[in-house]
């Protein structure tokens, strides 16, 4: 393929990339089959959990700066992952620089390269698409993945050699999935923030607004204060409820919906579900009945449409 043809292909892709910047929804048709629950943790509980040994966490960051919006303790997984946008590429050195704290990701002959339209492209094709997008003033979204090291990487070590680099069609929420231990959590003498979570030498702030949770293994029955997420199957304006797949009922009442979502009322949720849209909800709440089905009274809620 000639460079002119590649550039034309990229130009066709740019509008989709730009449109994706306006939404953090997941790919079309991607829904949560069954609701997922996370037990809400205090910072001391989170610190204790991480301190007990190697722990896999997912950090979701606010759009600007190194401040955690959410930190989840998860079950083991086969990969570590970075989600961000590329601000620079050096094909000679084999590196890309991310908007995520200026982190530099390396790649090489063993790296698998992907685009939104192909699960495997050559290194030169991938570099060309990334370079052309940056030249047009864009910051292409990517996912960088690798197999986890035998032991958690030292907190001050910024190295990340990607085994898989994916050019995405949607700008995802900046996030880090990584194994950590006690060394990664730093105390703060005079809060705020509540603490510092250092990974890849990025000092990520945990504030009083950061949601900390521990995913309940196997979707076990939640209790007390929890975090929830799942696909919405119904909305009842009279009862003030949302129903998630599996029958989980979320009591919403007159709660104000998160303004960073896509839908902001039970009426709009009901209309979207009736139209066949893939609607998903996430939030915090308290379990009022363990069920089945589980009944939750929400204290915060965000509703999005996967489109």
Judgement on whether residues 121 and 241 belong to the same structural domain of the protein: no
pLDDT in tens, 227-277: 999 999 999 999 999 999 989 999 999 999 998 889 999 999 999 999 999
Task: Indicate whether 284 belongs to any domain.
Answer: yes
pLDDT score recorded for residue 29 = 44
Report DSSP state, residue 149: P
What is the band of 76 on the pLDDT scale with cuts at 50, 70, 90? low
Beta strand 80-90 pairing with 249-251: unpaired
| pLDDT over 50 at 31, yes or no | no
Task: Indicate whether 9 belongs to any domain.
Answer: yes
E strands along the chain, which residues?
36-40, 55-61, 68-74, 80-90, 95-98, 104-106, 112-115, 118-121, 141-146, 164-167, 175-180, 185-187, 195-199, 202-206, 211-215, 225-236, 241-244, 249-251, 278-289, 295-306
Domain limits at 167?
3-21+78-175
| pLDDT over 70 at 122, yes or no | yes
Report DSSP state, residue 179: E
Run of H or E including 129:
helix 123-135
What is the band of 127 on the pLDDT scale with cuts at 50, 70, 90? very high
Q: How far apart are CA 258 and CA 255, in angstroms?
A: 9
Task: Indicate whether 44 belongs to any domain.
Answer: no
* Single pTM value for the model: 0.76
Task: Indicate whether 185 belongs to any domain.
Answer: yes
pLDDT score recorded for residue 156 = 98
Task: Indicate whether 33 belongs to any domain.
Answer: no
Q: Which residues, other chains included, contact 132 with Cβ-Cβ below 8 Å and sequence gap of 6+?
A: 6, 7, 10
| Residue in 155, 301, 191 with CA at minimum distance from that of residue 242 | 301
What's the mean pLDDT in 51-76? 91
pLDDT in tens, 164-185: 999 998 888 899 999 999 999 9
Number of domains forming the structure of the chain:
3
What's the mean pLDDT in 43-65? 92
Judgement on whether residues 13 and 109 belong to the same structural domain of the protein: yes
């Amino acid at each position: 393929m000639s460079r002119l043809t590649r550039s034309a292909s990229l130009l066709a892709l740019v509008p989709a990339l730009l449109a994706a910047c306006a939404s953090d929804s997941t790919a079309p048709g991607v829904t949560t089959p069954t609701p997922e629950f996370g037990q809400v943790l205090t910072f001391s509980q989170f610190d204790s959990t991480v301190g007990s040994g190697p722990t896999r966490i997912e950090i979701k960051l606010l759009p600007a700066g190194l401040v955690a919006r959410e930190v989840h303790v998860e079950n083991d997984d086969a990969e570590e992952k970075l989600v961000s946008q590329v601000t620079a590429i050096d094909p000679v050195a084999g590196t890309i620089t991310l908007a995520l704290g200026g982190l530099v990701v390396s790649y090489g002959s063993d790296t698998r390269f992907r685009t939104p339209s192909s699960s495997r492209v050559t290194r030169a094709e991938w570099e060309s698409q990334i370079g052309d997008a940056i030249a047009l003033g864009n910051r292409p979204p990517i996912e960088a993945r690798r197999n986890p090291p035998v032991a958690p990487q030292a907190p001050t070590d910024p190295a990340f050699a990607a085994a898989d680099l994916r050019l995405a069609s949607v700008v995802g929420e900046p996030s880090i999935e990584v194994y950590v231990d006690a060394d990664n959590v730093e105390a703060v003498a005079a809060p705020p923030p509540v603490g510092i979570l250092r990974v890849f030498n990025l000092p990520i702030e945990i504030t009083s607004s950061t949601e900390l949770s521990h995913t309940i293994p196997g979707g076990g029955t939640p209790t007390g204060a929890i975090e929830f997420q799942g696909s919405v199957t119904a909305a009842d304006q009279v009862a003030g409820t949302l129903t998630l797949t599996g029958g989980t009922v979320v009591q919403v009442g007159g709660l104000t919906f998160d303004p960073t979502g896509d839908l902001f009322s039970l009426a709009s949720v009901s209309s979207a579900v009736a139209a066949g849209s893939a609607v998903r909800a996430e939030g915090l709440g308290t379990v009022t009945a363990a069920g089945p089905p589980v009944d939750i009274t929400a204290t915060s809620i965000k509703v999005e449409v996967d489109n």
